[in-house]
Each structure stands twice: as structure tokens, then as C-alpha cells.
A and B are shown apart, each in its own frame.
Chain A
Amino acid sequence: MNTSVRNSARLLWSALRALLVLTVVLGVVYPLAVWGVAQTAFRGQADGSEVRVGGKVVGSALIGQNFTTGKDFAPDPKWFQPRPSAADAGAGAGPYDPTHTGASNLAVTGRPLTDLVKERKKEVAAFNHVPESEVPADAVQASGSGLDPDISPAYADIQTARVAKANGLSTAQVARLVVEHTEGRQFGILGEPTVNVLELNIALRQLAG
């Protein structure tokens, strides 16, 4: 009995020492090594692909943000609008909150989401003065992260006339911006075509002056 207790204790002590030495290698040296290479070779990416306008950071090219007015986060007609977002802690920071990421997790067969989608479809159609049949799915369904930086080219297209009017630009000018900021599938086959909302809106502001 005594020897078996002693053997078990010795085994656990070995296991603890193994874990400690591996914690140093895998938990300290490894992330620091990756950090060192990343900060040397890919500084911009490693720090979050921050985008600057006039020297000031206005966000990350990878993280969607709100283009809204007021405390109730009403969409601002001057800007291209992103997808609905479930990243909202309900604590006043609104949607697109990187400290509270995630999806709605609602069932697509259930009433709550069905009603929500119906309502959004009506709102998006009215906001952009287009028929409901032209509203694409990404405009009425929330993303997985709640931080989706992209919309589909179709969603950008239905926003073009409204954005042009609100900024005193011609629809053709804004439509050209959308085309310039439309990315096809990566390497031709991966994922889906996208329009990065922040980058499009930055170009829009430059154009509108």
C-alpha cells in the first residue's frame, strides 16, 4: 500500500514537472517567438490591420463598425450600411461590439428569427427605396461574428442610389466606387464575393469631400 502511494506521488510529481517545463516552452516561448516574427514581418496585420484617415485610426479593415446616428443606433443614410449584428451586449455600446462577439443562435425554423427577418426586409427596402424582392439575404441575416466587415455586392448595389442622394453625388459615381471595392472570390474559387464596408465608406467620404 505504502509503495503504491509513494509510486503514485512520484508519478504525479513527474507529471507536474513535465507540465511546468512544457508550459514554459509552449505557453511562453512559442507565443513570444510568433509575436517576434509577426511584429517584424507583418506588423500591420499583427496589430489588427488598423485603418487611418488623416493620421487617425478610424477602425480595423477586418472589423465591421456602425454607421449610425444617435443613441438608438439608427442607420445613417449618408453611409453604406453593414449587415445586422448580434454582437450587442445591450449595454449601450450598440451592435458591432468587439468586446461581445457572436451570433444570434436563433433557429431558422422559429418565429423569433422569422419575424426579425421579415421586419428587417421591410426596413431595408424602405430605407433604400427598393422593392423587398431586391433585398439580399446578407442584409437581413446577422453574421456569425457580429463583426462582419463585408457585405455582398448585391447589398452594396441597392444602397448606391440612396447613398449618392444623401451625399449629393451622382449614382454613377457611387456605383463606380462600389465596383472598385468589390472583391471577387479569393483566388477565383474561395469563399464569396465581398465589399468591405469601411473601405468603401472611406473612399466615399474622400469623393464627397
Chain B
Amino acid sequence: MGPVTADVLQVTALVVALALVYRPFGDYMAAVYTSDRHLRVERLVYRCLGADPDARMRWPAYLRAVLAFSLVGVLFLYLFLRVQNHLPLSLGFAAIPPGQAFNTAASFVTNTNWQSYMGENAMGHGAQTAGLAVQNFVSAAVGMAVAMALVRGFVRSRTGELGNFWADMVRGTIRILLPVAFVAAIVLVGFGAIQNFAGWHEITTLAGGHQTLTGGAVASQEAIKELGTNGGGFYNANSAHPFENPDAFTNLFEIFLILVIPFSLTRTFGKMAGNIRQGYAILAAMGLIWIGFVTLMTWVETAHPGAANQIAGAALEGKEQRFGVGASSLFAVSTTLTSTGAVDSFHSSFTGLGGGIALLGMMLGEIAPGGVGSGLYGILIMAVIAVFIAGLMVGRTPEYLGKKIGTREIKLAALYILVTPAVVLVFTALAMALPTPPHSMLNSGPHGFSEVLYAYTSAGNNNGSAFAGLNADTQWYNTTLGLAMLLGRFVPMVFVLALAGSLARQRPVPATTGTLRTEKPLFAGLLVGAILIITALTYFPALALGPLAEGLS
């Protein structure tokens, strides 16, 4: 079988697996977020935190709870990393220095998982399992909670109540993330991912040399790292490391875990909105972009332009032999079109255009299918923009799901889509203009610029992958990337929840013959067009200086 046929079949297998679970898993998640029963373990949690899970929250209260929980998360993780040398199972590693501890705490709480440290020689077992991996779960659950609040904003009328943050966050964790992660972790171990609490141990190799092997609770962290679209590797090599990602099957399985919640949430959305076909339209837009990017990436990496690739005969720099070009391209697209940022191959050594595709994926705002929760609310904001544009064309007040998109709604949606590009471009410009930050570049020319642009795009969009040649463990990058992650996560959430509150107060307008049918393929196409055009207009100059200059030279 030729490599092209194998690549196509590999993608097909993934799509079939995602399609099989789409309905049951999406319906299950809808049931989780609409049920009024509490599990016993959940009641225990609610009692511990002293909150009433049935108290109904308007958007300011919901937002305050999101921010309080995240603020406490950042402070707690910061302290945890600062004192890790005193924690059990620290493996003798020192405390994480202040700048890096801030960066890492901001990174894991915002579901970004940018890493300016090297896991295997900085983090002990205590910091990995009880510090970082906990945020892998709860940051994902926060994203899903905010998405559910927005969906309720569309569904509910003449109220303003968006549900209860504590109930949404705890349920997402206990009923969705935890059970799936547990099963996934066991599967990963079965295929070779490690799960032990050993420290470094030296062995004598076959040829008589010495090698230091490392241990860790890798499988349990790997499972939630992918499922929660987090992406922070146990090891510096991330999912390229054989202990995190032992073979081609686990590779595909990890891609499945990355995509399963974001895609299935469109079913949850349709179910909760009372019209499954609304969910299908969103799914179609997401799926179209994803498959388009997969095709482009696989094509350009297989064609292997670039001087070093031309001499070598393929694009294998930074890629593992067991995955090869096809599986690595599939992973790279899936990780940058979601907010994951895990890598099974190193994007900095992708072809010039391939690296540009990874960058563009993040610049779309990570909505195809996007991060857990953040993908759904991100694309719903774009849907609001799309109906607004359509409304302008025909001269009617735009509506989406029976709600009027008036001045207030469109202002909030517009603010949402402005935040991240502003964060990305301003910080990139500052880093390029100041004297010291460019010293962190490994490569020169357009690729060096791409390293900086990629870093802020990744941080601002809460992705976490990198053109990792950039030395980001400096005071400048630790601080500014930390700020970019916090701004890129929480400012958009303010607008999402404000929008949800505003929608939930409205009374629904009945559909008429003039209503734009947002469950039709035409609308899915309009949505894809709006996403691509807005992103292109925003980022084209920056892309032209980096990956386009490199890829087309």
C-alpha cells in the first residue's frame, strides 16, 4: 500500500471513530448539563466548598465565580511550583523560579500549557500530578462551563439566569473528563505509555554505554492532556516522546481524544437548542475547515519543499519514524485547530508553508473544532457575526436561534474577536521592536520572526505549541507570554458571558419566511467564509513577513 492510500485510510479511520461516538457522547454531555440530579460525590464536593449547586446565577455572578476559581488556581499553582522542592516525590528538583512559575501557572490555568521549562529535568512527580494535571482537568471544565452558559443564553428567554458555575464545572470534571481520561489512560498504558513513580535510573546499554531512564505518572497525565485540549507534555519532547505516545495507534488515539469533546459538543449544542440540525451546521463548518487544513498540511509536508528537505529527500526533521509525515501532519493540524498544543512532531522544522498552516490554524481562533468548550463558544460568536453580515446584505435585523442580534450583541461579539488579535500583534510588535527579546530567536530571517509571532499567537489563543527554537525562559517572555495567556483567555470570556446574559433576557422572535435558515448548508458555508475572511484580513501582514516569506522564497 502506498503512503498516500495509508494516509487517507488513517484519516478515514479517525473520522469513523469520531462519527461513531458523536451522537451518544454529545447526547450524554447534554444530559449532564441539563440534569437536575446531583451525584453523591458531587454533593460531597459542594458541601466542601460551601456553595449551593442549585443557586441560579446571572451572568455577572457566573463570571465572578469563573474568575475567582481561576485566580485561586493561578495563585495555588504558583505557590505549589515555588515550593516544589519541599513536596513529596520532588525527585530532588529545585523550586521553580518566580518568573517561570508565574508563566507556568498562567499557562495551565488558562488551558494553554505553554511550557518554558523542560518537564523531565524541572518537575517532580508531586508538581506534575497534583499541580499541573489538576489544572488540565479543571481548566477544561471551566471552558465547557462557559460554553454551556452561552448555549443556555440562546435557549432561555426572559430570564438572565445562565445556570450554576460550580455545578457545571464539577459535573464536567466528574461525569465527563474523569471517566473518559481514566479509560484512556489505561489504554495508553496497554500500548506502552508508562505509569510509575520511579526517579532517574542509570542503565548500561547494549553497546556498553550509559543511559539515564526516567519514570513518571505519564499515562494518567497524557490522557487528560489530550482530552482536555491542554497539551502540556510530561516531557519536553511532548507527544513525540515514546513514553507519552508509544506507537502509531496511540498517536491516532491521542488525536481522537483531542477532537472528541470539541466535535461532540456541537451535538450537545443542537440537543440543548432543541434543533439538532443547528448543531450539524456548526459541525459542518468545523469539519470543513479541519479536513481542508489536514489535506493542505499533508500535501505540503509530503511535497517537502525547503533546502534541507530537498537534500534529505523527505520532511522528517523533527518527526518520528513510527508516525512519519502523514500522521505527524494530522496531529499538527488537530492540535493547532484546537487549543491543545501537544505535538508529536516539531512545528519549527515543518516546511515554511506547513509551519504557516499551523500558525493560521491558531489564528482562526481555534474553532475548528477548537478547545473543549472554548471551541464551541468561539464558533458561536463567529456565527453571530455571520448572521449579522448576512443581515446587512438583505437589510433585515439579524436573528440567531430565535434571538435578535441587536447593537449590544454585535458589540460584544466584535469585542470578542478583537481581543486575541490585539494581544498577539501588540506583543509581537513589542518583542520585535525592543532590543533584547529578539536575542531569544534560534533561527535567523523570516523563520526567526515566525518563532516570535508563533509564541504570541500560541499564548494569545491558549494553544501552547511552539516554534520551540525560541528561548522563552527569559524574564520578558515568561512575563509577556503569561499576560497574553491570561488576557487571551479571560477577557473573551467576559464578552461571552455578557452576551449570554443579554440573549437570555430577550424574548424569542418567531421564525418567519424571511428568517435566515441557520441550519442549512448555505449558512455553514457563510460561516466558513466569515471565519476565513476575518482571520485573513487580521493577520495577513504578519503572515506575509513570516511563513509566507519563508515558504515562497
Contacts and interface: CB of A to CB of B under 8 A. Distances in A.
A12 B74 CA distance: 12
A207 interface: no
Interface in B281-321: 304, 306-309, 311-321
Residue from B44, B211, B215 whose CB has the most chain A CB atoms within 10 Å: B211
A201 B206 contact: yes
B212 A14 contact: no
Given A103-B345, A145-B242, A202-B206, 4 more contacts: A48-B198, A107-B349, A108-B306, A191-B247
Contact of B345 (A13, A33, A110, A144): A144
B348 A205 contact: no
A141 to B, nearest CB: 4
Given A62-B246, A66-B211, A99-B120, A194 B189 contact: no
A21 interface: yes
A147 B233 CA distance: 15
B181 interface: yes
Interface string A50-67: 100100111110110111
Contact of B166 (A18, A105, A187, A205): A18
A107 B321 contact: no
A31 interface: yes
Contacts of B203: 57-59
B248 A144 contact: no
B293 to A, nearest CB: 20
A26 interface: yes
Given A59-B211, A147-B241, A108 B72 contact: no
Given A26-B133, A93-B212, A121-B312, A58 B206 contact: yes
B325 to A, nearest CB: 8
A103 B240 contact: yes
A1 interface: no
Interface in B173-219: 173-174, 178, 181-182, 185-186, 189-198, 200, 203-207, 209-215, 217, 219
B241 A109 contact: no
- How many chain A residues sit at the interface, stated as a range, is 35 or more
B196 A17 contact: no
B138 interface: yes
Nearest to A189: B9
Contacts of A27: 129-131, 133-134
Interface in B321-375: 321-324, 326-328, 343-346, 348-352
A143 interface: yes
Interface in A15-56: 15-23, 25-28, 30-31, 33-35, 37-39, 41-42, 45-50, 53, 56
Contacts of A113: 308, 317, 349
Interface string B109-140: 00000000010110000000111011001100
Contacts of A109: 306-308, 352, 447, 550, 553
Contacts of A83: 321
Contacts of B73: 15, 19
Nearest to B214: A98
Contacts of A201: 206-207
B137 to A, nearest CB: 5
B191 A107 contact: no
Given A45-B191, A107-B443, A110-B445, A188 B308 contact: no
A34 B220 contact: yes
Interface stretch (B48-56, B410-418, B537-545): B48-56
Interface string B65-80: 1001101110010000
B45 A21 contact: yes
A157 B210 CA distance: 27
A198 B206 contact: yes
Given A63-B213, A147-B237, A12 B192 contact: no
Contacts of B41: 25
Nearest to A56: B204
Interface residues of B, number: 123
Interface stretch (A132-140, A164-172, A173-181): A132-140
A144 B344 contact: yes
Interface string A102-118: 11111111101110111
B252 interface: yes
A112 B246 CA distance: 30
Contacts of A88: none
B540 to A, nearest CB: 20
A12 B68 contact: yes
B21 to A, nearest CB: 19
B327 A60 contact: no
A-B interface, 10 closest residue pairs, ranked by CB to CB distance from nearest = A191-B248, A144-B240, A192-B324, A108-B306, A27-B130, A105-B469, A137-B314, A101-B237, A190-B248, A103-B346
B241 A22 contact: no
B444 interface: yes
A158 interface: no
A63 B205 CA distance: 11
A105 B349 contact: yes
A103 B349 contact: yes
B65 A107 contact: no
16 contacts: A22-B137, A25-B178, A27-B134, A35-B195, A41-B189, A46-B219, A65-B206, A98-B212, A102-B346, A103-B240, A107-B352, A138-B316, A140-B312, A144-B318, A192-B321, A192-B322
Contact of A42 (B44, B189, B326): B189
A186 interface: yes
B121 A189 contact: no
Contact of B327 (A50, A108, A191): A191
A99 B129 contact: no
A110 B321 contact: no
